[in-house]
Structure formats: structure tokens, C-alpha cells
Amino acid sequence: MAGCCGHNGQFDGVSKDYKRRLWLVIALNAIMFAVEMTAGHMAKSQALQADALDFFSDALTYGVSLAVIGASIKVRTLAALGKGISLLLMGVWVFGSTIYRVMYLGVPEAEIMGVVGFMALATNLASVALLVKYKDGDANVRSVWLCSRNDAIGNVAVMFAALGVWGSGSGWPDVIVAGIMATLFLSSAFQIIKQALAERRAVVEHAQSHA
């Protein structure tokens, strides 16, 4: 695999090819955030809005990842921790807004959900294809892969939600999918934070052993 590695042998993102792929994925995510958030409001779909928020978070995540490539492992793990915490907060927000929808439940527009969900799925499959070569690496690189994977899973879920809304005439499938996506955000946040903390501990232990 191209690029340099940290002291623990993990790919740290120092690769021209990896950076080019990240720029492409950032552009795709930024475009789909605008499209999906607008469509989510039009369709009154909590699942679409949750997925749009994930696009926005990912665009920021990839930008931070680019900024810290080549920096010290302390800086990279700090960036990964920040991204993990942002995912955690996003998961909490989606859970809260989903509870609100349960209390004030309207039926979203299944047709808009389906069309935009398909567009988002195609975008995220392209992102996954661009990044799958670099799915294993340090916490910074790993966070990029997890966000891309979450997007693809989330879009498949939105498609199922659209089918459920269309078939049942109820908004519950949309709410359920939004809740599942929030759980996925929280799970990824804990994975990123756990790996980043482990890498920071390894740096400290490495420094102490050579003191």
C-alpha cells in the first residue's frame, strides 16, 4: 500500500492517491448534503434529514482528515477524537429528533424519499469504491472509512424506509430507520474514540520506554 506508516505500522494517509480520492469524496458529500437536506424538508422525512446530516459531517470529517495527514500521531489522534465526538453528538441529535417525530408523526413523501435515497446510495457506493483500498489504517484513516460505510448502509436503510412508508401509508418506517441510523452513528463514534485513545496511549508508552 502506498504511503508512509506510523510507528505502529498503520497506514497514516500520506499518499497522493489517497488525497486525490478524499478530495473527490468531499465534493460528492457536499453536493449530496445540499440535495438531501432540501429534499428531506420537502418530503418531511426524518431519515433523509438524518442522512443529509451524515453527508455534512462526512464532508467536514474528510476535510479534517486531509488537514492532518502527515502530522504527528498525537495531532492525528486528536483529530480522530474530535470526529468521534462529533459523530456521538450527531447520533444523540438524531435520536432526539426521532423521538420528536414519534410524538408529532406525519407521513413523509415516499416518492421523494425513494428518488433522493437512490441518488444518495449511488453517490456513497462511488465513495466506498474510492476508499475501500484504504479502509485499514490509523484512527484518522479508519474514521474516514467508517463514515463512508455508514453512508452506504444509511442509504440502503432510507430506501427500505421509503418502501415501508409507501406500502403502509405510515410514517413509522421512516422513524424506525432514523433510529437505526442514530445507533450506527453512536457505534462508529465509540469505535473511533476507542482506537484514537489506544493510539495515544501507545505513543505515551513508546516515549516512556525510550526515555
Residues 112-137 pLDDT 10s: 777 887 888 888 888 888 888 887 77
Q: Which of 20-24, 41-45, 144-148, 174-178 has the highest mean pLDDT?
A: 20-24
Fold of 16-130+138-209: Alpha-lytic protease prodomain-like (1.20.1510)
Which residue type is seen at 124? N
* Cβ density class 108-142: b for 16+ within 10 Å, e for less: bbbebbbebbebbbebbeebbebbeebeebbbbbb
Query: Is the predicted pLDDT of residue 39 greater than 80, yes or no?
Result: yes
Over residues 83-111, the pLDDT tens digits come to: 788 878 877 877 776 666 655 555 666 77
Residue 7 — pLDDT band, cuts 50, 70, 90?
A: very low
CA pair distance 74, 78, nearest whole angstrom: 6
Q: What residues contact residue 211 under an 8 Å CB cut-off, 6+ apart?
A: none
pTM of the model: 0.63
Nearest to 93, CA basis, from 178, 188, 192: 178
Average pLDDT score over the chain: 77
CA pair distance 48, 179, nearest whole angstrom: 12
Domain ranges of the chain: 16-130+138-209
Query: Is the predicted pLDDT of residue 51 greater than 80, yes or no?
Result: no
CA pair distance 83, 158, nearest whole angstrom: 24
Over residues 144-196, the pLDDT tens digits come to: 777 777 777 777 877 777 787 777 777 777 777 777 777 877 887 888 888 88
pLDDT confidence of residue 98? 66
